[in-house]
Structure 1
């Protein structure tokens, strides 16, 4: 099977080896201007009288067989410092109110009228940038990786304004060359522009994109042709210092109030226009929004995404090696409950074929727990092969420094080191219909072990109507990744999936079709330990609302004791077998209304011949464009034999976003979780007084819900300044 899979990989890649870029006929010429441009949204400067523009957008959805009904015109120019873009977004019905959530940065794409720029400076159809705004002027920026994925956690310095008229809204922006990464001398960039008008509703793009792919797909970019090579960014050094003050108080243990005063800095140094060195000294991430809680009924560790800005640029080089549950490197392992002293991170492109990522981080020791100072080193190399595929190498090393367990009697023992070395091949056909991956990883530790290997591979075909996917994984019994996210070891996994979509010629239904998926786990003797097989049927309406019904069959043989409600009442025994069926339904309302909602629910069996009812709802209302109110609720009613009996688990999370402007934001996020017996309140005020420079005031409270009592409290004031 393994050799057959590798043969298919090579065959598919080889068939596209000499394929021409799909949208190479789409060309936009850009010329330098010597005239000034003021970013005010009026685009009345003479510099905008350019000879070429992008118009005649194609519809992406609801169908992709005609030109867009909503008209858009885009122009671009540049000078020695900035790349300029303007877009006139015409409204199909004059004096129609636009639809947006708020002025919050990095808004939800599907819930806002918006315009996006997608740029691929290397024209490698793999990695790039996206910039854009919603119709109220809120900014959106992010990194594009693996052609289709994007990460909006990345923020950088750029300038934009939006103006409104009866029949159109106008976007104007300046993007400094220092804010993007590109290679000197390349005069042909990949480019695309996308427009979403959820009132129409219509999604469109300048260079044509099949509807099954998102608009950030770099496989379908056109060409931005420069009159001269883009100017070098020049000396590109940014220093981002911070100062903060605050206090924490642990009421639960009745400790003294701790006052905190701190200072630190990040620095960004452009080694070349496409290669960046990030440095950090005594970093602090107190302004990062708290993780969204979940009701934990899982047998394995839960995953929470990285939010810290230092780790985000070119994060795909590090974080996307492997699969969602096989990650040799996961940056949240660094600084987990321990301060980071300093770190360095080199990442970017060496040329059109080679990318590099190197990281070294140092954490402090903690005498109370016997945790030694540790060093984390990561090296990632990526080599482009064929038209859009690549080969990756990764090395991860975690090293305890000056550590002797005998010096910390009675405290946890830590490994002297843990290392991972891996090789990965990523397949992406020219038209993006075929994608896949094959990887091999080996771990090393102070004690030599056998069966410390990982192999996994997948192959997926995605056409307008068909989706066929196969994935298999093998994780050895002694494989360890202390700087990774691998919640489960010692298994073999098979995961086939098949779906089909029908497209009616008329009526309210845009598409509908079945989805069949199965996930099977085996031990090394190929005895089955888990199996979940599901059948879904999904309806997508022309107004963008969706409805889905599903049923699943589940089997689990427990490999270790497990508490099915995770509240400490008791555990099911190792080796016990559990079999049940479940059915459920999901509904998501159309996003263009001020009031939006979604409901999901399922009912069926559970562990120990019990039953489980789950009901979830998300409600939202927006007072455009300044206030967005949302409420997320999840309820689980679980009936089991004694000692568990009947358990009711609630997770309630109201949230209010007030955006006074696109520079001043106030957020209050409350989470009530009776499984954890905690009520969390997180309030954050952010003033972006200059691009990428902020003042934060963050207040966090945790309470016992019953009897109501405060557990701990923290208040932090943090000031950051981006200095070039």
Structure 2
């Protein structure tokens, strides 16, 4: 490792006596399967306090993978930084050269005159052929390399201060929309500029501003038919909202039934379609030892669907503050204001507490265990709905040997996070897992356990529960098989229709079914994932089959086919849900990536086509092209016009 005052330079020599057997299939960026190939991962915590950091991984082709680390050991895979990597296979193994601008890490938290700044650093190499892992520190099978509490301290690398700490990301986009896609009933074409500004002061305060940003280049959501009564949770994929996203997390609620701030509420509807961002401003950093994040935005108004009333522009804001209490505990505050739908009178506030120890010593046991707990309370206020409160607590114990987790939540009937995600209100719910993690001498994992959850409406009208014993096996190469038995019960207060023509009537139900899961290691040229379910479903029967096949004939080409079938038979009727997807990836170099995704289901009878191209033709110049087309394949397809949206975007990155 070395630096020149502007960038961190890392050279990796990965020795291997059989270079022809090195596994390097991926060229495309941020493919999780790359982490199962021959790769090296670097983890850096620039604040040195074990809470927030960054992960960078490179395989033997030079393909990149990066992620945000937050809460000491949680990852957001969907964050991206602008950095460079090159790699090549040689006679004695493979070599990688990595260059990361120091501006990615920021200028770090301010320290006293007599206090030396420190980073925390860890590194890991994975070799799939022998299922061998080498790590700089914290090498335990139940700890990941991104567990920041196990990283080693080192003197901080301080960037030269002769610059302004400023990066400009200017763009020019041309957009064409069909009449059905524009929401106005008329086709339209636009040529618009956009600007994102990133600045960091000498004190470590980060400022991000955005003007007239469109999110048409974000990856399309995977098509899923919702067979539940609750809204599906979908991850954020837009770069602007992912910057410093870890600073806004609350109570350990990442993919939970309640989240106070869910950025997909801003500028997107439930289908993933949405409007542009007129303006956005974000501040984040540390002041007096306190982490903070402040975000405000104006979402553009305008039409949503042909014939529907125009949606008003919306002003929204989010505040997050967290302060450590020693090295293991943290207390925080969050607050939001505004409603993305443009209606006034919505606000929320809450407090949370976190305890995380990666070297916990259980009574009568050995040290080196990980224990993490969270507790939180939230209160919301909305015009017409009034005030509502929710609270929750969780504990996680993810260790070899005895392992488990548990969570409980209570949400009042009037609680509604206007800027967040909520599966349902007026409910008390809990879930958990208890098992035994056995690791063999050759690296196999055998985990028998039992999962459980319960849900009860606070007015007593509904109640549901689930209990499922399971056993999972993963070999050293990463192939996994799992068998589960589910026992479920549900008392419904009102009927609901999971699929067209099939209705579950109010009443009390109990059923059970078998579930099987099989996954082969993604490092293989051909890999597969399969799920099978068969057994009861309320007062009827349900059979599910899901299959995904992936083929990498070379590092430059990749295919993925997905098929799913859900056959539901109830006294009220029968219906079979079918979904299909096909994805083709072409990555001729680590700077050029093209993809084509086709998705269809027989419920909406929509065929979606999404094409993406990203070309980094210079380190500071990028070309982005996206094409989305949604067509109806049902009997009335002649009456429902296709929706087409195309965008060409030129991006300039300027740093001073």
- TM-score, L = length of structure 1: 0.82
Say which of 305, 321, 331 aligns to 2:263: 331
- The 3 A distance-change label for structure 1 pair 528 and 429 is farther
Residue 234 of structure 1 and its aligned partner are, at CA, apart by 3.7
Say which of 544, 550, 557 aligns to 1:620: 550
CA distance in 1, matches of 2:81, 2:165: 13
Between stretches 281-290 and 99-108, larger displacement belongs to 99-108
Tell me the equivalent position of 2:366: none
Q: Is the Cα–Cα contact under 8 Å of residues 67 and 76 in structure 2 kept in the other structure? A: yes
CA distance in 1, matches of 2:45, 2:533: 43
CA distance in 1, matches of 2:29, 2:439: 35
CA distance in 1, matches of 2:11, 2:140: 25
- The 3 A distance-change label for structure 1 pair 232 and 151 is farther
CA distance in 2, matches of 1:94, 1:330: 45
Q: What's the secondary structure of 2:85's corresponding residue? A: strand
CA distance in 2, matches of 1:455, 1:290: 33
Between stretches 454-463 and 319-328, larger displacement belongs to 319-328
Tell me the equivalent position of 2:652: 721
- The 3 A distance-change label for structure 1 pair 364 and 596 is closer
**Structure 1, unaligned runs of 5 or more:** 1-75, 401-412
Tell me the equivalent position of 1:55: none
Say which of 479, 484, 504 aligns to 2:420: 484
Tell me the equivalent position of 1:408: none
Tell me the equivalent position of 2:284: 347
Deviation string 1:13-69 (CA, Å, 9 cap, x unpaired) is xxxxxxxxxxxxxxxxxxxxxxxxxxxxxxxxxxxxxxxxxxxxxxxxxxxxxxxxx
Q: Are 1:88 and 2:28 an aligned pair?
A: no
Residue 577 of structure 1 and its aligned partner are, at CA, apart by 2.2
Q: Is the Cα–Cα contact under 8 Å of residues 681 and 700 in structure 1 kept in the other structure? A: yes
Q: Is the Cα–Cα contact under 8 Å of residues 461 and 493 in structure 2 kept in the other structure? A: no
CA distance in 1, matches of 2:276, 2:85: 36
Residue 527 of structure 1 and its aligned partner are, at CA, apart by 7.5
Tell me the equivalent position of 1:397: 337
CA distance in 2, matches of 1:502, 1:183: 41
Tell me the equivalent position of 2:363: none
Tell me the equivalent position of 1:647: 575
Residue 184 of structure 1 and its aligned partner are, at CA, apart by 5.2
Tell me the equivalent position of 1:364: 300
CA distance in 1, matches of 2:217, 2:202: 31
Aligned pairs for 1:78-477 (under 5 A) are: 78-181=3-106, 182-183=108-109, 186-225=116-155, 231-232=160-161, 234-250=163-179, 255-272=185-202, 274-321=204-251, 323=253, 324-336=256-268, 337-350=274-287, 353-366=289-302, 369=309, 371-398=311-338, 415-431=343-359, 433-447=370-384, 449=386, 452-477=388-413
- TM-score, L = length of structure 2: 0.90
- The 3 A distance-change label for structure 1 pair 94 and 327 is closer
CA distance in 1, matches of 2:392, 2:89: 51
Number of corresponding residues: 626
Tell me the equivalent position of 1:500: 436
CA distance in 1, matches of 2:614, 2:581: 21
Q: Is the Cα–Cα contact under 8 Å of residues 620 and 654 in structure 2 kept in the other structure? A: no
Residue 224 of structure 1 and its aligned partner are, at CA, apart by 2.1
- The 3 A distance-change label for structure 1 pair 128 and 233 is farther
User: Which is higher, the Rg of structure 1 or of structure 2?
Assistant: 1
CA distance in 2, matches of 1:540, 1:90: 27
Q: Is the Cα–Cα contact under 8 Å of residues 215 and 276 in structure 2 kept in the other structure? A: no
CA distance in 1, matches of 2:100, 2:58: 13
Residue 532 of structure 1 and its aligned partner are, at CA, apart by 1.1
- The 3 A distance-change label for structure 1 pair 690 and 388 is farther
Q: Are 1:587 and 2:513 an aligned pair?
A: no
Between stretches 459-468 and 120-129, larger displacement belongs to 459-468
Aligned pairs for 1:680-719 (under 5 A) are: 680-691=608-619, 693-707=621-635, 711-719=642-650
CA distance in 2, matches of 1:695, 1:273: 34
Deviation string 1:155-188 (CA, Å, 9 cap, x unpaired) is 2222222122022111112222112122356442
Q: If each structure's strand is expressed as a fraction of its own residues, which one has the higher value?
A: 2
- The 3 A distance-change label for structure 1 pair 494 and 246 is closer
Tell me the equivalent position of 2:453: 519
Q: Is the Cα–Cα contact under 8 Å of residues 68 and 246 in structure 2 kept in the other structure? A: no
